[in-house]
Amino acid sequence: MPRDRGIGTGVRLPDFLGIGTQKGGTTYLHGLLQQHPQVFLAHPKELHYFSLYHQRGLDWYGRHFEAAVPDQRCGEVTPYYLFHPLAAERIAAALPDVKLIVLLRDPVERALSQYFHSKRLGLEPLELEAAFAAEAHRLADADAALKRGESHRSHQQHSYLSRSRYEHQLFRFEKLFLSAQLLVLRSEDLFDQPRRTWDQVLDFLELDTAPLPKTISRYAGGGESAEVSSDLRQLLRMQLEPTSLWLDQR
């Protein structure tokens, strides 16, 4: 039975979170979950409480779940949580028994998809190779700034390779949560075997079996990454090889 969460708060807080990865199919999963009658998802998607708006407090966060009925599972989906250096500790402090869903996409395809996403939104002035080459410099002071409570534009918008290094990000959550609280899925499985993956999600969240909902949202984008040269893809594959090996061993 869902219950009030958050120590001593008395406010309704999530039973589960979708924590990432960006460009990994979280919008598609969100579209599936919001059609299950036992699920209440906060509006809008990506509240960013544990990343950008933590100073607003649990009362502000809890107001996003006030409309849920008692027997619904409450949840929210913010892909930035997986990458933000403080999110895991903040979540553990506020929601120690929360369930966490992680979607991990092929790291090269994810990195390219994020670049073109930032480019379409006007957030990236550099061309592809220059943007990847500039990433280390752009993010050099990011963790320190975020830990001081400051914002950091490039950490969210220009973190193409860094955000694809899942082994470093998931480790923060595995230190703080039981393995039974984490459901780690491959994005490719969600799209290639949606029925099987949907059943895994329902079982993890202890929801009644339900038909796979109809939804058209998958990886949002314009397909620009298909034009990326094989040489650049190979270079990115080499840079992200440790992550690919880590994924293969999970």
Q: Report pLDDT for 17.
A: 98
* Residue at 94 is within a domain: yes
How many domains is the chain built from? 1
* Residue at 5 is within a domain: no
* Residue at 6 is within a domain: no
Round to whole Å and give the CA distance between 212 and 195: 6
The CATH number that applies at residue 90 is 3.40.50.300
Q: Cβ(235)–Cβ(108) under 8 Å?
A: no
SS3 content of the chain, % helix, strand, coil (to 5): 50, 10, 40
The SS3 assignment for 238 reads: helix
> Which pair of tokens denotes residue 135?
């990433």
Range of weakest confidence among 75-89, 151-165, 192-206, 215-229: 215-229
* Residue at 173 is within a domain: yes
* Residue at 3 is within a domain: no
> Can you give the C-alpha Rg of the chain in angstroms?
18
Q: What is the pTM of this model?
A: 0.93
Q: Report pLDDT for 216.
A: 65
Domain that includes residue 227, residue range: 16-249
Q: Cβ(10)–Cβ(65) under 8 Å?
A: no
* Residue at 75 is within a domain: yes
> Which pair of tokens denotes residue 216?
């058209």
Q: Dump pLDDT digits (tens) for 142-184.
A: 999 999 988 899 999 999 999 999 999 999 999 999 999 999 9
* Residue at 228 is within a domain: yes
Kindly write down the DSSP assignment for every residue of 42-108, as one continuous string: -SSS---TTTT-GGGHHHHHHGGGTT--TTSEEEEE-GGGGT-TTHHHHHHHH-TT-EEEEEE--HH
* Residue at 1 is within a domain: no
